[in-house]
Amino acid sequence: MHIPPYHKRPSWQRFLAGVAIGTIIGYIIFIYMFGELQEKWIEENLALRGDLQNLNQSYENLRKNHETLDQQTKKGLQVKEINIEFLNLKELNIDNDRIMIQQLEEAVRTEAAHAVGKNINDMADSIDLLIATIENKTINIDDFKFQAEIQRIIVSETLYLSIQLKMADS
């Protein structure tokens, strides 16, 4: 039995070339879609890790403060969470870099973590210490160094921080 030589026919050559080109285009589309999904997964993973770290810090701070308050039975409201807003992300051209914004928030939240669980009156008395703590810290992310400057701070059950970032000198 003999297999006919289809590789010499132009119609078969076009068909096989189309299959090869279609395979290459399909693979390129697959790689692009996989990359997009991978990037979204990494961003979501970083956000969830940051949330977990914040919850663990808040839990530990609240537990420690609860133990001290049990001993002293004070009345009053406590700071329960920290809300951070950056004012000049567009000027620094990082408003679309969600990963860097998440890392900036984590760094500032780490510096202000001692405020969670404190009495609001005590926090209002030590607000200068909180401002100095945040403003004296140089935040290093990748190859960038940022200096935070607090523009507005509101102390209630939620500590609101409005922060202006500027590039730090090397």
What is the per-residue pLDDT across 42-75, written as a single tens digit (0 to 9) for each?
999 999 999 999 899 989 988 888 887 776 655 5
Per-residue pLDDT tens over the stretch 86-145? 998 888 888 888 888 899 999 999 988 888 888 888 888 888 898 999 998 888 888 889
Helical residues (DSSP H) of 5-97, grouped into ranges: 10-72
**pLDDT beyond 70 at 11:** yes
Residue 40 has pLDDT above 80, yes or no: yes
To which H or E segment does residue 152 belong? strand 144-154
Between CA 87 and CA 63 the distance in angstroms is: 33
Contacts of 130-136 with C-beta under 8 Å, sequence gap 24+, read 134/108, 134/161, 134/163
Give the residue-averaged pLDDT of 76-95.
86
Please, what's the b/e burial string for 1-30 (b: 16 or more CB within 10 A of its CB; e: otherwise)? eeeeeeeeeeeeeeeeeeeeeeeeeeeeee
The amino acid present at 64, given as its one-letter code, is K
